[in-house]
Structure 1
Amino acid sequence: MTMSRPSPVAVACAALFALAQPALAEAPAPVAATVRAAFAPAELARMRATARRVTIMRDKWGIPHVFGKTDADAVFGMLFAQAEDDFNRVELNYINALGRLAEVEGEQEIWRDLRMKLYIDPADLKAKYAASPAWLKTLMDAYADGLNWYLVTHPQVKPKLLVRFEPWMALAFSEGSIGGDIETIDLKGLEAFYGRQMAAPVALADLVDLGGAGKGFDPEPQGSNGFAVAPRRTAGGHALLLINPHTSFYFRPEIHMVSEEGLNAYGAVTWGQFFIYQGFNDRIGWMHTSGGGDVIDEYLETVTRRDGTCVYKYGTAERTVREKTITLPYRTAHGLATRTVTAYFTHHGPVIRAQDGKWVAVRMMADPVHALMQSYGRTKARDYAAFYKVMALRTNSSNNTVYADADGNIAYFHGNFIPRRDPRFDWTKPVDGSDPATEWHGLHDVKETITVFNPESGYVSNTNNWPCTGFGASSPDCSAYPRYMWSLPQNPRGIHAERVLHDAHELTLDGLIAKAYDSYLTAFEPLVPSVVKDWDALPDGAPLKARLAGQVALLRGWDLRFSTASVATSLAVYWGQDMVREASARAKAQGMPVIDFVQTALHPQERLDALARASDKLQADFGSWKTPWGEINRFQRLSGAVDQQYDDARPSLPVGFTSANWGSLASFGMTARQTTKRIYGDRGNSFVAAVEFGPHVRAKSILAGGESGDPASPHFTDQAAMYSRGEFKDVLYTRADIEKHLERKYHPGE
């Protein structure tokens, strides 16, 4: 790993890289009897009155259908219902969003907290809340009241940290994707830059250079699938929408919120947020996939010291580095301790690491008010024109959007927040912050971004891949746009999606679901013939010729389709995992997705050796390399903990679909550190829905496990068996249907 090389004057600034010695702070007061006392009688009366205007109807799956007189009433009830189902995850999301995780988890999380606090300042969010439109403030008030009313009426619940939610907190977590843009900031680089405790100055050269961290590709893909199909390709003559986020399991519950002010939204909500993130109303539907334009930029800043102040070069002049003291409390065995960091900012954004003797500042979307307005506004749009108007806010920075509606329209938006930049620069790498030509020049209008509306092909799709395919002959010409308009390449799921939709006709809801669970594994198309050819080329006396004869014969006859009974799927996946593990560092060094590297750059001997190692692992773990896939790939939910633990000796269910790495549209992957022999999925298909728009909306859905995070609830695993088989339940959308399958009806707090 290379080291940064400073100029002599840069060394003088290094004295500023000081992390204060830990100081013990007073621990927070016990929670037990403080919650109700935290609210004035007038506040309690207001919350009680709101609760009486809200009705929560739990259907036979435990899904909450929240009815309120106003939108604010529905928001109140929605947050109350979320807290009922999994307060732990609701609270944890806000502890993390506010940069307070170390107060609960300990010192190891202070760098995650620092990353949040570079952007999140309660005083700033309070001011933004105060300046928000009245309608948005009303919703934020209702959000806080709903969670607080839950705490007031559930004194047995002991929050880890937050005994009172404030309306402004909603602005700390205003966009529903996993972690959001901020998680692109590498924590190791942040720690290397800010984390040195010292009694004497440390030279900039002694800071670890993590310039290669930046943008990369995950071993288990994060993201989603979104399909929309035009009426002429469907059996009912109505548009169809597939909502298929690939997230951490139990990251989003399923919920329905209705008001007399026109709200009637159903779908997935990220714990603690008050808008349906991926879903539909009675007229339109929307699905977000990750990986739109390249919207996060890093700037190399040339920093020196002038008259006791750090300055950085900009054009022919110099500007002052802004400094901010950030306190980082963390839990210890003896109470709270704190560290204090002096954080640095240029006009581009916070400084996050060192590289090549310079400081690296990062710039990204930071407009939580408009982001929250857009997130909520899309749920109330009634047609394409209204939805487009919401998109014009341009704060959806990490997502693409697949759209369908009851008028028969289908559409696709690749990204939304896309800064206008000089296309001469390579924006995938840090640019020279001293060059004014690298500045952003406002945002691209929606019409200037890559969009598709009612394509002649009759379908749209995105699988976190580029926008250059996925629409058949109607696919955009990517060469007509700046390269920064799209950030990710093609992937095996993208190839698969194009195939299953290209010849689709007379599709029904069940037919769309079948397409979304098609069992073909496109990633193995080039790999299997290659290893068969490699084996055929071995001389008869070669050790691997006899050793791999059975394995190669099995792969030679494989149809590249997964199933729980398939032995070839087991062998292929373990072989693929081995190759990915061996090749990941080389792929990253060459800037390639690891699957592309494995498919195109491995030596024949590497493929054969990986197949031998995979066979040995299967033999060692399961007694035979001829083990069916369903014996290995399992669904298991043992507790409500965020950090799930797995046990080969405990009950589990077989799952046929595989990791998205291999081109499986239905994704089931394991990201937890594997201590078991079996694979237990924890990322991939979570909430999935298929929606048909027409005179009346009709939908089917499935959740990983069930709605509740409480192992004692009947809805903890009541959808697990269906989930593992790819079977869906009918969405109960009308009040009459909900009443027919009603489990419980109540006002919040009863």
Structure 2
Amino acid sequence: MKHWKRWQWVLFWVLAVTGGTAVVLLAYAYWPATPNLNHLTNLGEQYNVQILRDQWGVPHVFGQTDADTAFGFGYAHAEDDFLTIQQTLAAARGMLAQIEGPDAAPVDYILHLLRVRELVAERYETDLSPEVRAVLQGYADGLNYYAALHPDKAFPGLYPVSGEDIVAGFVQRTPLFFGLDNTLTNLFKEERQEEISPRTAFFLPGKELNFSAAFSRYTWLAGNAASPIAYGSNAFAVSPARSANGETFLAINSHQPWEGPVAWYEAHLHSEEGWDTVGGTFPGAPLILVGHNRDVGWGFTVNRPDLIDVFVLEINPDNPNQYRFDGEWRDLEVREVPIRVKLLGRLTWTVKQEVLWSVYGPTVRQPHGTYAIRYGSMGDIRHVEAWFRLNKARNFEEWRAAMGMGAIPMFHAVYADKEGNIYYLYNGRIPRRSEHYNWQLYLPGNTSETLWTDYYSIDELPQVLNPTSGFVQSANSTPFIATFDPENPDPADFSPAMGIESRISNRSLRLLELFGADEAITAEDFYAYKYDMFYSTESAVPQWIAQLAAANLPDDPDLRQAVDMLQRWDLQTNPENSEAALFVLMMEAIDRNDLAHFSVDALTNTEIPTETLVAGLTEAVATLKSHFGRLDVPWSEVNRLRRGTVDLGVGGGPDILHAVYGRLEEDGRLRGVAGDSYVLLVTWDAQGNVHSQSIHQYGSATLVEDSPHYADQAALFVAREMKPVWMDEQVIRENLEQAYRPGEERP
């Protein structure tokens, strides 16, 4: 009995200590951790800048130097979207899993796998000009200053951030836009996803890779652009040769996600050192990515050259850390990297992960093989350098020289300027490869014949400068229809190893139809064409409807009515259209249920089995009958823009020039999530004076729900109306809402 009582006391104290420890751990885990950033509160004294917010809340940042402007811009953007900016910076630091938990661990792993931080540290001082490094640090200090003044919003352990962090974000995210996440996802599947190319002299058509949730948080960094179902973009220009009054027109219309790390943010950046640029940018970017200054303007859309290769290494059976290359065994570089992962509140756990490097580059070891990856722009950190030169270019030669650096590794580019020049470029950091392999398969990784080291120059890429047609366009289609024949690039001039795509979107078809029928384009015409809401009769849509009309349908009167309605449909997606909902919901069901392989932003030349169309239409009928009680529902009652308390009907649709892509919600409506977002239309008059107008799907206050600018542009957006863009300081002050220095309380 005495022994039992003694054990009772021992057990009591063990439980007490254990319970107390648990209480302490829980208190630590959930007690708010506010970082001490007092040492950063004097940064505002080092920069001379003022932020002018116009009546739409758009920041116009006026600094004395470029670095001053960047500081003010970092601060202004943090006011509107601080959480998203911090998430991108945490990812660039390799600490996103520490903040968000296990789902973010692949982001940190890939940062180590690609050696992003080592690359930036090695080349930051040598590869970037002093001017750009000053801009980068100015922007970083703007974020640091905002964090110091709002420590309750700041991520612990993140500050101070530096210019290197900003560059690392570009190096990390850029490969996602050309599909690196898809490549890695497939390498981590249970079985090998591609055959190894034999050494031949011909090419096989490549396969489109499936998206996997394994790297979904990594893909988040680039939004929908990283998905195999990209949501497209438009950019097109008209020269004085085709305009009615000697004007030059440019449409900048990238289709981005409406929320997240690559959602557009509008800004105007001005310094006394010649920076005077307006346009759209992303969280964590210190300059304008698409836009115009007084002399030149440009837009980008996603293209799909083959920029990534996978090599299967031959591993030494006696040493798993060696691989054969040109007849000799070489050592893999093997490291273990620590990844801190949040478990509970502030409690973290550090895991070790193997990362490998071979002569080709980043390497991963899987049960079905060891694979190396090599991609265009690998080893380059000059993205911001090139974009900054675009921002400050004053003529075509300067702008093209910036693109010619090869530091922006992809995108269709459409350019226009005050001199009336227009230009299309199929841009890409495309490797110069041997034509003896099919580079869309996996490659043998044991020979220097597959180790490419050179790239095509800008002069060797598809492009069109000042065509006599007076028109160039890109809507995520092949570069061989950038204008009207015979001035298009010739496919025969380009190696098949470049992997240039051949697809054509409905948006490109409509642009060619609209502008091809109009040889004297007015500003009103240009505006109307941008908001066109038709599917082309040359797209796949009429064929799919014909298949449904000829199908042996189930004995269902609602389904028969639906087919009859689609046969009467005028192929338009205007808000009052009563047939568009059937078609878009049908395609949404096919896509969501993965019933067929197609791209929602390129509804042309795509074969879909009749039974698949019937299955999709059956689900669309059920959705409309269940939630609306009828089939002839006006399109705007289904297609919605929703933001806080705002709920508005909107026209347009998938692969429409007025592009809107929706996600089906429980009430049977499609909530817009991507497509037309920041739209910027630019005009240079016959005298070379620039005027522009823009619209954002929501407003400038990205995450500030109680701001009047959280959704103040939504009503204009759904009405297909735009607001003026102001660049002159006097005019800005005439339309001013607030003027303040960073750190001052906003009036």
* Common fold: TM-score over 0.5: yes
1:665 aligned to which of 657, 666, 672: 657
Letter in 1 for 2:112: K
Distance 2:250 2:545 in 1: 38
| CA apart distance, 1:352 | 4.0
Partner of 1:32: 34
| CA apart distance, 1:513 | 2.4
Deviates more, 1:558-567 or 1:229-238: 229-238
Q: Is the 8 A contact 1:300 1:361 kept in 2?
A: no
Going from structure 1 to structure 2, the CA distance change for 1:601 and 1:351 (only over 3 Å counts) comes to same
Letter in 1 for 2:577: S
Partner of 2:329: 318
State whether structure 2 residue 472 is matched by structure 1 residue 460.
yes
State whether structure 2 residue 147 is matched by structure 1 residue 151.
yes
Q: Is the 8 A contact 1:312 1:318 kept in 2?
A: yes
State whether structure 2 residue 526 is matched by structure 1 residue 512.
yes
Partner of 1:706: 699
Partner of 2:241: 232
Letter in 2 for 1:624: R
2:535 aligned to which of 501, 509, 521: 521
Partner of 2:135: 139
| CA apart distance, 1:725 | 1.8
Distance 2:675 2:284 in 1: 21
State whether structure 2 residue 105 is matched by structure 1 residue 114.
no
1:715 aligned to which of 698, 704, 709: 709
What secondary structure, in the 3-state scheme, does the structure 2 residue paired with 1:636 have? strand
What secondary structure, in the 3-state scheme, does the structure 1 residue paired with 2:107 have? helix
2:159 aligned to which of 156, 163, 184: 163
Distance 1:531 1:245 in 2: 29
2:495 aligned to which of 473, 482, 485: 482
Distance 1:364 1:27 in 2: 43
Going from structure 1 to structure 2, the CA distance change for 1:426 and 1:537 (only over 3 Å counts) comes to closer
Distance 1:314 1:730 in 2: 60
Q: Is the 8 A contact 2:312 2:445 kept in 1?
A: yes
Distance 2:448 2:516 in 1: 46
| CA apart distance, 1:505 | 3.5
Q: Is the 8 A contact 1:616 1:625 kept in 2?
A: no
Distance 1:529 1:261 in 2: 56
Going from structure 1 to structure 2, the CA distance change for 1:536 and 1:416 (only over 3 Å counts) comes to closer
Distance 1:372 1:598 in 2: 36
Letter in 2 for 1:118: L
Distance 1:714 1:518 in 2: 30
Going from structure 1 to structure 2, the CA distance change for 1:425 and 1:616 (only over 3 Å counts) comes to same
Q: Is the 8 A contact 2:695 2:723 kept in 1?
A: yes
Distance 2:464 2:501 in 1: 18
Partner of 1:502: 516
Query: How do residues 296-311 of structure 1 correspond to structure 2 at under 5 angstroms?
Result: 296-306=308-318, 308=319, 310-311=321-322
Q: Is the 8 A contact 2:180 2:308 kept in 1?
A: no
Distance 1:256 1:283 in 2: 15
Distance 1:263 1:30 in 2: 41
| CA apart distance, 1:508 | 3.6
Going from structure 1 to structure 2, the CA distance change for 1:594 and 1:371 (only over 3 Å counts) comes to closer
Q: Is the 8 A contact 1:241 1:692 kept in 2?
A: yes
Going from structure 1 to structure 2, the CA distance change for 1:578 and 1:464 (only over 3 Å counts) comes to same
Going from structure 1 to structure 2, the CA distance change for 1:730 and 1:84 (only over 3 Å counts) comes to same
| CA apart distance, 1:189 | 4.3
Letter in 2 for 1:616: A
Distance 2:193 2:322 in 1: 22
| CA apart distance, 1:598 | 9.0
What secondary structure, in the 3-state scheme, does the structure 2 residue paired with 1:231 have? coil
TM-score (norm 1): 0.85
Deviates more, 1:437-446 or 1:357-366: 357-366
1:563 aligned to which of 563, 570, 574: 574
Distance 2:380 2:489 in 1: 31
Letter in 1 for 2:506: P
Partner of 2:9: none
1:94 aligned to which of 71, 89, 97: 89
Going from structure 1 to structure 2, the CA distance change for 1:537 and 1:35 (only over 3 Å counts) comes to closer
Query: How do residues 441-460 of structure 1 correspond to structure 2 at under 5 angstroms?
Result: 441-460=453-472
Letter in 1 for 2:162: E
Distance 1:684 1:597 in 2: 15
Q: Is the 8 A contact 1:687 1:703 kept in 2?
A: yes
Query: How do residues 538-557 of structure 1 correspond to structure 2 at under 5 angstroms?
Result: 543-544=554-555, 546-557=557-568
Going from structure 1 to structure 2, the CA distance change for 1:211 and 1:115 (only over 3 Å counts) comes to farther
Distance 1:411 1:171 in 2: 28
| CA apart distance, 1:724 | 1.4
Q: Is the 8 A contact 2:424 2:464 kept in 1?
A: yes
1:209 aligned to which of 189, 192, 201: 192
Going from structure 1 to structure 2, the CA distance change for 1:700 and 1:610 (only over 3 Å counts) comes to same
State whether structure 2 residue 413 is matched by structure 1 residue 401.
yes
Partner of 1:633: 639
Partner of 1:374: 386
What secondary structure, in the 3-state scheme, does the structure 2 residue paired with 1:681 have? strand
Q: Is the 8 A contact 1:636 1:680 kept in 2?
A: yes
State whether structure 2 residue 719 is matched by structure 1 residue 725.
yes
User: Alpha-carbon deviations, 1:331-378, whole Å to 9, x = none?
Assistant: 011601111011112111212464864534343423443222112111
Partner of 2:254: 245
State whether structure 2 residue 629 is matched by structure 1 residue 623.
yes
**Paired positions, count:** 681
Q: Is the 8 A contact 2:61 2:73 kept in 1?
A: yes
User: Alpha-carbon deviations, 1:84-128, whole Å to 9, x = none?
Assistant: 111111111112233322111111221222122212443542332
Distance 2:566 2:307 in 1: 42
Deviates more, 1:358-367 or 1:622-631: 358-367
Q: Is the 8 A contact 1:326 1:341 kept in 2?
A: yes
Distance 2:182 2:363 in 1: 10
2:673 aligned to which of 682, 702, 705: 682
Going from structure 1 to structure 2, the CA distance change for 1:675 and 1:106 (only over 3 Å counts) comes to farther
User: Alpha-carbon deviations, 1:144-174, whole Å to 9, x = none?
Assistant: 2111111223345333652321221121123
Partner of 2:741: 747
Query: How do residues 13-32 of structure 1 correspond to structure 2 at under 5 angstroms?
Result: 31-32=33-34
Distance 1:634 1:524 in 2: 28
Distance 2:30 2:118 in 1: 21
| CA apart distance, 1:525 | 4.8
User: Alpha-carbon deviations, 1:311-343, whole Å to 9, x = none?
Assistant: 112222222111122111110116011110111
Q: Is the 8 A contact 2:324 2:330 kept in 1?
A: yes
Partner of 2:17: none
**What 5-or-longer segments of structure 1 have no aligned partner?**
1-23, 193-206, 639-649
Q: Is the 8 A contact 2:36 2:151 kept in 1?
A: no
Going from structure 1 to structure 2, the CA distance change for 1:277 and 1:596 (only over 3 Å counts) comes to closer
Partner of 1:184: 181
Q: CA RMSD in A?
A: 2.8
Going from structure 1 to structure 2, the CA distance change for 1:652 and 1:239 (only over 3 Å counts) comes to same
1:430 aligned to which of 442, 451, 455: 442
Distance 1:178 1:58 in 2: 34
| CA apart distance, 1:488 | 5.5
Letter in 2 for 1:522: S
Partner of 1:260: 272
1:411 aligned to which of 412, 423, 426: 423
Distance 1:534 1:180 in 2: 36
Going from structure 1 to structure 2, the CA distance change for 1:30 and 1:414 (only over 3 Å counts) comes to same
Going from structure 1 to structure 2, the CA distance change for 1:309 and 1:355 (only over 3 Å counts) comes to closer
Going from structure 1 to structure 2, the CA distance change for 1:117 and 1:504 (only over 3 Å counts) comes to farther
